[in-house]
Amino acid sequence: MKRLLQLAAVLLLTSTLAYAQPPQPQQPEPKPGKKQKPAPENIEWLWQYTPTADARDGRENDLVQDLRFRPFLDQYLTAPQTFWGTPIDGRPRTLATTALDHLSVPDKVLADENRYLSISGCVVHFCPARGLLWVDLNGAHHLVVFAAIDWIKASKTPSEPGAEYTLWIFPNHPVDPEHIPAALTHSVARWTAQPPAGSKVIQQITAAILVDPDGTPHQIPPATIGANTFTRPPSEQKAQP
């Protein structure tokens, strides 16, 4: 009997302590329809590959081999493309893979205004097919643009003057053809003013196609994006033989 009274006392004390616990604060539920704020994008790691005293043209080869580079391309280059690569199961190569193809042979990583990056290269065994990856590091959502020079096969061969090329431009955000960022046109102008590796012939871009992120193409005058418009300063022109 005594043990039963002791057990009853213990149960009563336990029950009293449980009721004495203060109520735990509840986390507020998110309001219906309210979107969670996305995490900020961090691509500052690209900057380490820009020119230094030991690498005047940057380190494009090291950049392409960085384990973060391919996921970066997959994240930002998602538009459909049809101009490059052998279709797999009836589907063309992804834009991210296409960009990687066009940057496989390293060229340069240039920085402008402590804000813009221009990463260039070309396709293995066919450097007339060239790529430019342009990145605006400012803002919460970075503008990333992939541009590719594609030989028009109906024209002359790439080794001949007069060969014609199409410039394809793929921004990750919609870009108004009437308001293309000046820094982007400058980078494209500088890039197209240089011949492909192993050649002295400037590629003549006779067509330019701006592709929206959903794949909608817009044909624009090549000069609108800066193609074949770069003029060297007078001091550099006089220095030419």
pLDDT at 42: 80
Whether 11 is in a domain gets the answer: no
Please check whether residue 14 lies inside any domain of the structure: no
Per-residue pLDDT tens listing for the chain (241 residues): 444 444 444 444 444 444 444 444 454 554 555 444 444 468 889 999 998 888 888 898 999 999 999 999 999 999 999 999 777 677 889 999 999 999 999 999 999 999 999 999 999 999 999 999 999 999 778 999 999 999 999 999 998 889 999 999 999 999 999 999 999 999 999 999 999 988 889 999 999 999 999 999 999 999 999 999 986 544 444 444 3
Between CA 49 and CA 69 the distance in angstroms is 12
pLDDT given for residue 92 in this prediction: 86
Instruction: Please give the tally of structural domains in the chain.
Output: 1
223 φ, ψ to 5°? -65, -20
Residue 10 forms part of a structural domain? no
> 210 with 166: CB under 8 angstroms?
no
Q: Hey, what amino acid is at 78?
A: T
Strand partners, 236: none
Position 54 in a domain: yes
Tell me how far apart the alpha carbons of residues 89 and 99 are, in angstroms, rounded to a whole number.
20
pLDDT at 71: 96
Residue 67 lies in a domain: yes
SS3 for 191? helix
How many angstroms separate the CA atoms of 122 and 98, rounded? 11
The C-alpha atoms of residue 84 and residue 12 are separated, in whole angstroms, by 78
Q: What pLDDT sits at residue 161? A: 84
- Full domain range(s) for residue 90: 42-239
The answer to whether position 175 is within a domain reads yes
Which of 128, 125, 122 shows the shortest CA–CA distance to 107? 122
Q: What is the pLDDT, as a whole number, of residue 87?
A: 74
Q: Are strands 164-171 and 204-211 parallel, antiparallel or unpaired?
A: parallel
90 SS3 class: coil
Predicted confidence at residue 236, as pLDDT, reads: 43
- The reply to whether 103 falls in a domain is yes
Is 24 part of any domain? no
What's the CA angle centered on 229, arms 225 and 234, to 5 degrees?
145
Question: What tokens does 153 get?
Answer: 């096969």
Q: How far is CA 230 from CA 16, 88, 225, in A?
A: 84, 38, 11
CA-only gyration radius of the chain, Å: 28
